[in-house]
Structures are given as structure tokens and as C-alpha cells.
């Protein structure tokens, strides 16, 4: 599956910034509509190290109402968490009705890193596939919107990004020895990812593979995918689009001012 993904898809920064105000406004309106209609949503980000998961979440949430969403960065379970059923810590992160939960990595660590790094027996991660299917089915049956992203880059692109980050004194901390070790196991993670995508694809919790070589292409695809999923769930309750030419121009000017205060372009594109 992943070998057939076109990783050469591109979008210029200028094209993305022109589209961004309307995307942000639409997502904000849908966030509020979901709040008003008590519709919860879970947005999951999986993908390669250095594929842009954190940056995508930062951009995605920049103009949302902070009262309506929570972001979780998922780490390996702590010792006391291992005394509970393995999905227990994720149940604690299920959003209340009307809220949005955004996860930087998720329960899929059990069938990816736990599998490849052999931190659990094969029987455990194999059984986790059915646990995940049942968990997501239960959430969807309760009315939640589930959107799953896998940020995909090539092995060569991952190496390039890690090398670039490591050479920057202000960014080198982002690349750890564990990241480098996982990079050396790229093929093993690729095989595990392929099986994960095949085993857990569902109409109520679809996988969206994001061609992440171009940061701007990836961001636009993430915005449009979430917007489409929320609009579909809201149906007739979805608000009409209210972006106007005047509003778009105003938003674009604000965005330009914000960009001028951000980090240099060459660092932002890393």
C-alpha cells in the first residue's frame, strides 16, 4: 500500500497561506457546531519520526477555540499504568460530548513500536488488533467522529530531515538516539505499518495517508480531511460557509503578520 503512495506531491507555501484563512475559519465554525450538537471527535496522528506530526497539530489548533479541544502527546505507559488494562489510559482521554481530542501518537503504539521493539510478546500485540477494532467501533457507535492520519515520508527524506535538525543547535534536541535507532529499523516499521493499516481500516474510522514530503501539501490535506469528516457527521446541522472575499483578505493580512514573526522559513520547513 505505502509503496504506491506518490510522495512527490507538492504545494507551495504561498498557495497554502492563501488557502489557510478559509480553512481555519471553516474548522473553527465546525468546532463550535460540534460543541453545540454534542458531537465528539478524535483526531489521531501517527507517522514516521520527523514527518511533521507536531507541527501539523500546532498549525491545526492555532485558531481553534482552546475550550473545545485537548491535545495529548502519547508516551510509553508509566509503571502504574501497566497495572491496568492497556487501553485504560486511552479511555481517560476520550473527549466529552462536543469536545475534540487530538492525539500525537495513540493506541497504535501497541502494534507499531511495541511490536518492532519487542517490548510486548507477539501474542499481546496480535490480540491488540481486535482490542483496537472493538474500541473504535464502540466510540463510533456512541457518535464520535474518528479521523486517523498516517504521516508518510520516505526513508531518504527521514534521514535528510534528521540530519538537518541535528545540525541546528536550536533544533538538535528534537532528534534522539531512540529516533535514530527507529530510523535504522525503517523497513521493519514499514512492514508493521502496512499490516496495521490493513487490519484496522474501517468505514467508521478510516485511515488517511498523508503525503508529507511537502509540509504545505500535508497541512492542506489534514485540514480538508477533518473538515469533510465533521461536515459529514453534522449533516444538515453543519453551518453554512461564511468566508467572504473581504474576510479572506483580512485573515490573509493577519496571517502574513503572524508569519513575519515566526522562525525563518528554512527552519520551519525542516
The neighbouring-strand residues paired with 152 are 211
Confidence class for position 139, pLDDT limits 50, 70, 90? very high
Enumerate residues 6+ apart whose C-beta is below 8 A from 57.
Answer: 45, 71, 102, 104
Going through the chain in order, the beta strands assigned E by DSSP cover 41-47, 69-73, 100-104, 145-152, 207-211
Grid cell of 28 as nine digits: 473553527
Residue 269 has pLDDT above 60, yes or no: no
Domain 2-268 in CATH 3.40.50.300? The answer is yes
Task: Give the CA-trace dihedral at 37, 107, 137, 32, to 10 degrees.
Answer: 10
Residue-level pLDDT at 143:
97
Of the two residues 252 and 56, the one the predictor is more confident about is: 56
Cα–Cα distance, 113 to 13 (Å, whole number) = 33
Instruction: Name the residue ranges covered by the structural domains of the chain.
Output: 2-268
Question: For 233-267, what is each residue's pLDDT tens digit?
Answer: 999 999 998 765 455 566 666 666 655 665 554 44
Rounded CA separation 4/6 (Å): 6
Amino acid at each position: 500500500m505505502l509503496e504506491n503512495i506518490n510522495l512527490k506531491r507538492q504545494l507551495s507555501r504561498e498557495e497554502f497561506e492563501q488557502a489557510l484563512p478559509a480553512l481555519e475559519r471553516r474548522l473553527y465554525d465546525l468546532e463550535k457546531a460540534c460543541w453545540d450538537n454534542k458531537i465528539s471527535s478524535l483526531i489521531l496522528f501517527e507517522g514516521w519520526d520527523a514527518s511533521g506530526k507536531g507541527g501539523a497539530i500546532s498549525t491545526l489548533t492555532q485558531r481553534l477555540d482552546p475550550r473545545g479541544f485537548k491535545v495529548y502527546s502519547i508516551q510509553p505507559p508509566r509503571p502504574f499504568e501497566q497495572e491496568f488494562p492497556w487501553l485504560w489510559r486511552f479511555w481517560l482521554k476520550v473527549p466529552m460530548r462536543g469536545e475534540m481530542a487530538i492525539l500525537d501518537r495513540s493506541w497504535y503504539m501497541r502494534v507499531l513500536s511495541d511490536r518492532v521493539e519487542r517490548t510486548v510478546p507477539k501474542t499481546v500485540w496480535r490480540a491488540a488488533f481486535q482490542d483496537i477494532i472493538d474500541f473504535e467501533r464502540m466510540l463510533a457507535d456512541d457518535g464520535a467522529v474518528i479521523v486517523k492520519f498516517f504521516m508518510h515520508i520516505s526513508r531518504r527524506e527521514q534521514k535528510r530531515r534528521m540530519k538537518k535538525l541535528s545540525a541546528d543547535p536550536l533544533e538538535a534536541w528534537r532528534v534522539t538516539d531512540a529516533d535514530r535507532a527507529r530510523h535504522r529499523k525503517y523497513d521493519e516499521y514499514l512492514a508493521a505499518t502496512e499490516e496495521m493499516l490493513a487490519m484496522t481500516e474501517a468505514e467508521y474510522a478510516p485511515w488517511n495517508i498523508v503525503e508529507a514530503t511537502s509540509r504545505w501539501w500535508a497541512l492542506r490535506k489534514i485540514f480538508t480531511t477533518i473538515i469533510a469528516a465533521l461536515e459529514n457527521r453534522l449533516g444538515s446541522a453543519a453551518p453554512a460557509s461564511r468566508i467572504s472575499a473581504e474576510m479572506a483578505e483580512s485573515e490573509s493580512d493577519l496571517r502574513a503578520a503572524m508569519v513575519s514573526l515566526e522562525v525563518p522559513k528554512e527552519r520551519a520547513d525542516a
